Amino acid sequence: MTTPATRTHDLTKQYNWSSTQTPPAAVFPSRYTIPERGRDPFKLLFRDYARMEVEKDRRVAAALDRAASLHSSSGIAPRWVEGLKLALPITAEAEYQAMKGAGLLIASINNPELQQGYAAQALDEARHLQLVGALRSHYLDTVAHPEGLGLGSRALARHPIGAVARAAFAPNSVNDPIDAVIALNVVLETAYTNPLTVALPQVAAANGDDAYAAAYLSIQSDEVRHMANGHGTLRAVAEIPDNIPLVQGSLDRAFWHQHQGADTVTAVGAEYYARVRPWAYRDAWEEWVVDDFIGSFSRRFGPFGLREPARLADVARGVESQHHAVAIGLAALWPLNFFRTDPLDETDFEWFEANYPGWSAVYQPLWEAYAALSDPANRRLLLQELPGVPPFCQVCQLPCIVPRFEAPETRIVEHEGQRYALCSAGCETNFAWNPLSYTAFGSFWSRYDGWDLADVVLDLGFVRADGRTLVAQPHLREDRLWTIDDIRATGVTIHDPLAS
pLDDT computed for residue 173 by the predictor: 86
H or E segment at 415? strand 411-415
Residue-range domains of the chain with CATH: 41-267 (1.10.620.20)
- Contact between 164 and 265 (Cβ < 8 Å): yes
Higher pLDDT pick, 387 / 414:
414
Residue 350 pLDDT > 50? yes
For 239-288, the three-class secondary structure string (H helix, E strand, C coil) is CCHHHHHHHHHHHHHHHHHHHHHHHHHHHHHHHHCCCCCCCCHHHHHHHH
Q: How far apart are CA 400 and CA 393, in angstroms?
A: 6
Spatial neighbors of 357 by CB under 8 A, at least 6 apart, are: none
Structure confidence at residue 39 as a pLDDT band (50, 70, 90): low
> Side chain identity at 227, as an amino acid letter?
M
Angle between helices 160-169 and 264-272 (to 10 degrees): 130
The mean of the pLDDT values for the chain is 89
Structure confidence at residue 1 as a pLDDT band (50, 70, 90): very low
Residue 129 pLDDT > 80? yes
What Cα–Cα distance (Å) separates residue 359 from each residue in 248, 351, 375, 471? 35, 10, 26, 30
pLDDT computed for residue 43 by the predictor: 59
- Contact between 126 and 305 (Cβ < 8 Å): no
> Side chain identity at 103, as an amino acid letter?
G
pLDDT computed for residue 286 by the predictor: 94
Q: What is the three-class DSSP state of 413?
A: strand
Q: By mean pLDDT, which of 44-48, 62-66, 238-242, 471-475 is the weakest?
A: 44-48
Higher pLDDT pick, 115 / 359:
359
Structure confidence at residue 384 as a pLDDT band (50, 70, 90): very high
Q: How far apart are CA 352 and CA 310, in angstroms?
A: 29
Residue 31 pLDDT > 50? yes
Q: By mean pLDDT, which of 32-46, 50-64, 197-211, 438-452 is the weakest?
A: 32-46
Which of 174, 315, 177 has the alpha carbon at shortest distance from 243?
177
Structure confidence at residue 66 as a pLDDT band (50, 70, 90): confident
Structure confidence at residue 19 as a pLDDT band (50, 70, 90): low
H or E segment at 53? helix 46-69
* DSSP character at residue 335: G
The backbone torsions φ and ψ at residue 249, rounded to the nearest 5 degrees and listed phi first, read -60, -40
Mean pLDDT along residues 162-184? 90
pLDDT computed for residue 299 by the predictor: 85
pTM: 0.91
Q: What is the pLDDT of residues 294-316, one digit of tens each?
A: 988 888 899 999 999 999 999 99
Q: How far apart are CA 101 and CA 91, in angstroms?
A: 15
* DSSP character at residue 420: E
* DSSP character at residue 259: I
